[in-house]
Amino acid sequence: MGEGVVRGYLAAGADVVVPTRTQERAEEFRRLLGDSATDRLHLVVHDYTTFTGAEQLADEMERRLGGVDDVVAPIGGWWSGKRLWEIDENDWQSAFVGLAAAHMAVVRAFLPRLKTRGAYTLIVGASSSTPVPGSGLVSMEQAALLMMRQVLEAELDGQQRVFALVLGPVRTRLVESGDPDWVSADQVGAIAVAASGAVATGGREIRLRSQAEVHEALALLRAGRPAGTGTVVAVSTMAPAKGRRADLVEVLTGLAPQIRAEPGCLHYSVHRARGDADGPLLVIQMFTSIEAFRAHSAAVADQIPRIGALLATPPAPPTLFEPVSRSALIEEVGNDA
Ligand SMILES: NC(=O)c1ccc[n+]([C@@H]2O[C@H](COP(=O)([O-])OP(=O)(O)OC[C@H]3O[C@@H](n4cnc5c(N)ncnc54)[C@H](OP(=O)(O)O)[C@@H]3O)[C@@H](O)[C@H]2O)c1
């Protein structure tokens, strides 16, 4: 899960510190991220799972980076094989006590240092509320995290925000196949980034068990987020080749979940002229920045031949629009005068 979250924050332009307890995991992580591992990725080999270790990490981050904006904690994993009365003390210590202590250590070291309206995001599984026989320790520990979130939210009094992303089965590099309705690790990253930016939205539990729940969450988190001065609107008019309009609609609407889940995408919609069942289609997209638009162009580059084959004329790049500020308007009017 961490890979998707780190990719999302890097694509959004953040400096991302990834602590791990072993050198091997650090090297594996850098290799897996490939080109996404820019110089804004700071991999740190450090035991952040004890109270002292987490404090040291938080101190060091404040000293070197000047502070911490957000924390995402996908700390944990899966555990199964025994019914509750069959577990031994080792199981209890590692799958419950160790994990709960790691979460507590990170919360107490980082939460008081987050900037105002910063987001602390826990990542848990749906087993936190649905019992899974043979995996009771995971369910109990994750249920405790959901209550921890509620307590923190009540104690913080709106200063910072605490989210919990509650996941069903997820498509990761380890489980590429699976139901297309499953949420992907990159979509989880996009939601974490959107929660960070949705400063007007209070911390909450967000269920992400299907594509519909992902879109609902993105719509909630992105609603009311003011379009910044750097936002880019991309508009494309696409005239379908004779007899290919339905196929073009199918491809363009089929791309919606993937494009809307991009960390920098604020809007994607496909339109037709009112009452015109055969004419051109209008695609309207909005991105947080020109960098986000470029990342989007790279992400969909392999779709262009597929779309081009359905068009009456060769595909052209979209026209880009930026917000017009009042002062720029006055300047332009002044020049005309
Ligand atoms: N993957 C899924 O399909 C899925 C589905 C639903 C929910 N989730 C939830 O997402 C979260 C992350 O899962 P994941 O699949 O990304 O797991 P993962 O690949 O095993 O990563 C978990 C990370 O937690 C860290 N960790 C710290 N203390 C730990 C401890 N005592 N025991 C084990 N790990 C510890 C490890 O960091 P180090 O690098 O320091 O070892 C590890 O990188 C979990 O809460 C999980 O329940 C995952």
pTM: 0.76
Over 90: is that where the pLDDT of 128 sits? yes
For the chain, how are helix, strand and coil distributed in percent, rounded to 5? 50, 20, 35
Residue among 21, 29, 43, 78 whose CB has most ligand 1 atoms within 8 A, to mutate? 78
Condensed to tens digits (0 to 9), the pLDDT of residues 295-321 reads 899 999 999 999 999 999 988 899 999
Whether 166 lines ligand 1, by a CB cut-off of 6 Å, is: no
Q: Which amino acid is at 14?
A: A
Give 86 Cα–ligand 1 centroid separation in angstroms: 23
Residue 332: pLDDT over 80: no
Distance 160 CA to ligand 1 centre (A): 24
pLDDT score of 173 more than 90: no
Instruction: Check residues 316 and 108 and name the one with the higher pLDDT.
Output: 108
Distance, in Å, from the CA atom of 289 to the CA atom of 233, rounded to the nearest integer, reads 9
What pLDDT is stored for residue 227 in this prediction? 58
Distance CA 314, CA 236 (A): 12
Instruction: Name the pairing type of β-strands 265-272 and 205-208.
Output: unpaired
Residue 84 pLDDT > 70, yes or no? yes
Does ligand 1 have an atom closer than 6 angstroms to the CB of 49?
Answer: yes
The minimum-distance atom of ligand 1 relative to the CA of 2 is 16
Instruction: Give yes or no for residue 217 CB within 6 A of ligand 1.
Output: no
- CA atoms within 13 A of residue 300's CA, in its CB half-sphere: 23
Is the CB of 1 within 6 Å of ligand 1?
yes
Distances in whole angstroms, Cα of residue 128 to Cα of each of 140, 183, 210, 249, 337? 7, 17, 17, 39, 66
Q: How far apart are CA 103 and CA 148, in angstroms?
A: 10
Give the C-alpha separation, 13 to 324, whole Å: 23
Q: Which domains does the chain show, CATH number per domain?
A: 2-222 (3.40.50.720), 232-321 (3.30.70.100)
Does the pLDDT value for residue 336 go beyond 60?
A: no
- What average pLDDT score do residues 285-290 get? 85
Give the mean model confidence (pLDDT) for residues 139-146. 96
Q: Average pLDDT over the chain, rounded to whole?
A: 89
* Closest C-alpha to 126, from 209, 204, 195, 52: 209
Distance between CA atoms of residues 309 and 313, nearest Å: 9
Statement: residue 5 has pLDDT above 80: yes
Q: Which long-range contacts (CB under 8 A, 24 or more apart) does 272-278 make?
A: 278/245
> Ligand 1 in contact with 189 (CB < 6 A)?
no
Average pLDDT rounded to a whole number, residues 114-140: 94
Q: Is the pLDDT of residue 337 over 50?
A: no
CA distance 274 to 257: 24
Mean pLDDT in residue range 42-53: 97
* Ligand 1 proximity of 77 Cβ (cutoff 6 Å): yes
**Hey, whose CA ends up nearest to atom 31 of ligand 1?**
99
Pocket test for ligand 1, best of 49, 75, 172, 177 (most atoms within 8 A of CB): 75
Question: What average pLDDT score do residues 291-295 get?
Answer: 88
The whole-number average pLDDT for the span 268-279 is 86
User: What pLDDT sits at residue 334?
Assistant: 53
pLDDT bin (cut points 50, 70, 90) of residue 327 is low
Per-residue three-class SS string for 246-312:
HHHHHHHHHCHHHHHCCCCEEEEEEEECCCCCCCCEEEEEEECCHHHHHHHHHHHHHHHHHHHCCEC
CA distance readout (Å), 309 to 68, 229, 285, 306, 314: 47, 36, 21, 5, 8
Pairing between β-strand 161-167 and β-strand 205-208 as defined by DSSP bridges: parallel
The closest alpha carbon to 293, from 272, 315, 263, 316, belongs to 263
Task: Identify the H or E element spanning 8.
Answer: helix 2-11
The pLDDT value given to residue 42: 95
Cα(79) to centroid of ligand 1, in Å? Answer: 10
Tell whether the model's pLDDT for residue 151 goes beyond 60.
yes
Query: What is the arithmetic mean of pLDDT over 3-11?
Result: 92
Distance between CA 44 and CA 42 in Å, rounded?
6
As a whole number of angstroms, the distance between CA 203 and CA 164 comes to 8
Given a cut of 80, whether residue 48 has pLDDT beyond it is yes
Cα 43 to Cα 308: distance, rounded to the nearest angstrom: 41
